[in-house]
Structure 1
Amino acid sequence: MTHADHYQSLERMYLAGPINQVFKPRIVVWKENAEIEIEVKPSYFHSAGAVHGAVYFKMLDDAAFFAANSIEVDYFVLTQSFTTHLYRP
């Protein structure tokens, strides 16, 4: 499998995840990188009118996961711990 094939396989796997039917993300994976975009919708806001932290966390965790897996072809690299500090919207 070429690197390009590996990256495309990761992208397809990500987009096939049932949770991503909600967010409808776009993803591009390349060596040591993953870029994920979503269209922000009002349904993603909390009661104070800003994007809920769960949305930030999901995008950050997913991007980190796929960036790490872009360089590891034999095993899945999993998130053991991930901390996000949000100070203000």
Structure 2
Amino acid sequence: MTTHMTQHYQSLQRMYLSAPINQLYLPEIVITEGEARIGIELREDFHHAAGAVHGSVYFKMLDDAAYFAVSSLEPEFFMLTASFTTYLIRPVSS
């Protein structure tokens, strides 16, 4: 991996972590070539009334990971999500 790309990945990581919304989730992120791994510690306030994690948490993490994985490969242009479909098979409760 070139120094230029390492700096690109680090810049993306800093950008992600500096987003005001992430003060709510307190995520961790690791970006490499074509890959972004995001983790958060689940808290009770991320759950809906039925006791499972709210779908907005799933979607945010999946959308963020997809965006930063693509952005790791494209250093010049800003990407946007045009369409995103998720299929939830079973809920996460812990």
TM-score in terms of structure 2 length: 0.91
TM superposition shift of 1:83: 1.0
For residue 21 of structure 1, what is the aligned residue in structure 2?
23
Equivalent of 1:56 in 55, 58, 69: 58
Equivalent residues, number = 89
User: Aligned letter for 1:3?
Assistant: M
C-alpha separation in 1, matches of 2:69 and 2:54: 23
- Paired position in structure 2 for 1:2: 4
Local SS of the residue matching 1:2: helix
Amino acid at match of 2:73: I
Instruction: Report the AA paired with residue 40 of structure 2.
Output: I
Structure 1 spans left out of the alignment, 5+ residues: none
- Report % sequence identity: 57
For 2:85 and 2:21, how far apart are their aligned partners in 1? 21
Query: Aligned-pair RMSD on alpha carbons?
Result: 1.0
**1:79 pairs with 70, 75, 81, which one?**
81
Q: Structure 2: how far apart are the matches of 1:29 and 1:76?
A: 16
Which position in structure 1 is the counterpart of 2:42? 40
Name the TM-score, length of structure 1 as normaliser: 0.96
Q: Which runs of 4+ in 1 moved over 3 A?
A: none
Cα distance, 1:62 vs structure 2 = 0.1
